[in-house]
Amino acid sequence: MITRRKMLVLLPAAAVAWKFVLAGTPAEAPGYHPSTPTAGALGTPGYDHSQHWWGMLLDIDKCIGCGSCVRACSNENNVPEGYFRTWVERYHVSGWEQEVPQVDSPNGALNGFPPSKFEGGKNFFVPKMCNHCKDSPCTQVCPVGATLHTPDGVVLVDEKYCLGCRYCIQACPYGCRFLNPTKRTAEKCSLCYHRITKGLTTACCENCPTGARQLVDLKDPNDPIHEYLKTHSVQVLKPHLATGAKAFYHDLDGSVR
Amino acid sequence: MSKFKDAEHLVRLAMAFALVAAVFLLVRAHFIPKSFGQYGHYRGDALAELADKPLHYAGHQTCETCHSDVLELKKAGKHVGVNCESCHGPLARHAEDPASVVPQLPDTAVLCARCHETNLAKPKNFPQVVSAEHSGGVVCKTCHQPHNPLLPQESGKTGGKQS
């Protein structure tokens, strides 16, 4: 027997249920198959993003601080002047005080570095970029779904959807994001998504003269990264934050933040 | 029948709910892009848009299809791992239209120093010079051939090729 009380509960429940019925119809969500993304859906024939899992290897021992990567990134991605999607830092660690390294990065190392002032101690360069974290804090805080994690492991910004609220810029523990001063949207390293989906390497890797930066595909069984990870000491930045960072640093000094 | 004497109230209520639900669905359908949720909590079309951005660096494979002679020259020396556009700059437009987009020759006085000027932070085994002492202002390519920079008198030691 339907009572008035039952009716009051059933009507809104039916309304909610109808909403889900509509949401499940093809007109509302075309091709919703999260486990089987369409091959070549990126407008690039032959690219299946379920077959890749991108990351980068950065070799501290090979970096000469020439800034080729920074210039390449700027040119390739039209990075506004004074902002950097990748940059190089120079570290000087004088002794036991690992917590207070001296770090400089004049203009992001766009034009390389002036000679080091410090004799003695440890001096080295550290290229920095988006770590393309598996569990990235920046995508978790985006209120509108404008920062996204692609099925092939790249963290990207949908600039048409970004509101410019800057939450992600504050959330990134690696300081890899900035607000584009003209577009007023968040911007960051895209791991040259327009290149890697076409079978090219990133602009920074293409232009690194010493091979200090290497694009790696962790889903490719033939990628030399697998052998490299087994035989070399490799770390990520800020491992205690459990971001699942995929920028792997070889011979990273403990002082690097 | 007496139990449903207030049925018209319920009908009014139901219509109000239906109206709100309809407005909600219409607004939702209007504002949420069709591809939202295709791969996750974001607009699926964004992937194709981001993958479709123009290239500026053609990539060394493209360069080598025409400039195989330079590749052979580089293979003989230490600069074999340095890709073309690292020194020559972004040249995707040259690769598309070689006749009308002609690249400028880089200035070796600036270019070489970026990598080879002495800096304590550079790896110790990387060849470095203090250019003021090394050449005294003479442009690098006066002596060194940039694609295979080892000088002839040094070439015996490392098997470098003269040019």
Give the range of the structural domain holding residue B94, as residue numbers without chain letter. Answer: 60-150
Count H helices, E strands: chain A?
A: 7, 11
The answer to whether residues B44 and B78 belong to one domain is no
Residue A251 forms contact with B (CB below 8 Å): no
**The pLDDT of residue A37:** 40
- Considering only CB atoms, which chain A residues are within 8 Å of B53? 77, 193-194
B159 within some domain? no
Tally Cβ neighbours within 10 Å of residue B123: 17
- Considering only CB atoms, which chain A residues are within 8 Å of B117? 112, 115
Q: Which helix (H) or strand (E) holds A92?
A: strand A87-93
Provide the token pair at A153: 């492991």
C-alpha closest to that of B122 among A257, A251, A66: A66
pLDDT confidence bin for A19, thresholds 50/70/90: confident
The answer to whether residues B70 and B124 belong to one domain is yes
- A residues 71-130 lying closer than 8 A (beta carbon) to B: 72, 75-77, 90-92, 111-113, 115-116, 118-119, 123-125
- Higher pLDDT among residues A213 and A99, named by residue: A213
Share of chain A above pLDDT 90, in %: 75
B156 within some domain? no
- Considering only CB atoms, which chain B residues are within 8 Å of A112? 114, 117
Residue of chain B with shortest Cα separation from A159: B46
- Considering only CB atoms, which chain A residues are within 8 Å of B59? 195, 200-201, 206
Distance from CA of B13 to the nearest CA of A (A): 9
B160 within some domain? no
The answer to whether residues B69 and B120 belong to one domain is yes
pLDDT at A29 over 90: no
Nearest beta carbon to residue B123 from set A4, A62, A201:
A62
At B17-62, the pLDDT tens digits run: 999 999 999 999 999 999 999 999 999 999 999 999 999 999 999 9
The answer to whether residues B75 and B112 belong to one domain is yes
The answer to whether residues B83 and B45 belong to one domain is no
The answer to whether residues B36 and B75 belong to one domain is no
The answer to whether residues B100 and B21 belong to one domain is no
- Domains of chain A, earliest start first: 52-129+191-238 (3.30.70.20)
**The pLDDT of residue A174:** 96
B157 within some domain? no
The answer to whether residues B76 and B138 belong to one domain is yes
Average of per-residue pLDDT values in chain A: 89
- State whether A115 and B117 contact (CB < 8 Å): yes
Is the Cβ–Cβ distance between A126 and A163 less than 8 Å?
no
pLDDT at A66 over 70: yes
- State whether B42 and A92 contact (CB < 8 Å): no
The answer to whether residues B25 and B80 belong to one domain is no
Distance from CA of B33 to the nearest CA of A (A): 9
Residues of chain B with pLDDT under 70: 1-4, 153-163
B163 within some domain? no
**The pLDDT of residue A211:** 95
pLDDT at A52 over 80: yes
Mean pLDDT of A41-51: 75
**The pLDDT of residue A40:** 44
Amino acid at B155: S
**The pLDDT of residue A133:** 97
The answer to whether residues B68 and B85 belong to one domain is yes
Nearest beta carbon to residue A30 from set B34, B48, B118:
B34
The answer to whether residues B78 and B126 belong to one domain is yes
Mean pLDDT of A193-214: 96
Q: Structure pTM?
A: 0.82
Tally Cβ neighbours within 10 Å of residue A198: 17
Number of domains forming the structure of chain B: 2
ipTM: 0.83
**The pLDDT of residue A117:** 85
Provide the token pair at A132: 């393309």
- Which residues make Cβ contacts (< 8 Å) with residue A90, sequence separation at least 6? A65, A103, A104, A105, A109, A113, A116, A123, A124, A125, A126, B121
The answer to whether residues B86 and B41 belong to one domain is no
B1 within some domain? no
pLDDT at A231 over 90: yes
At A113-170, the pLDDT tens digits run: 999 888 888 999 999 999 999 999 999 999 999 999 999 999 999 999 999 999 999 9
**The pLDDT of residue A12:** 81
**The pLDDT of residue A120:** 84
- Considering only CB atoms, which chain B residues are within 8 Å of A63? 123
- Higher pLDDT among residues A131 and A19, named by residue: A131
Name the residue with tokens 């930045």. A237
- State whether A65 and B122 contact (CB < 8 Å): yes
Tally Cβ neighbours within 10 Å of residue A107: 13
Mean pLDDT of A199-214: 96
- Which residues make Cβ contacts (< 8 Å) with residue B136, sequence separation at least 6? none
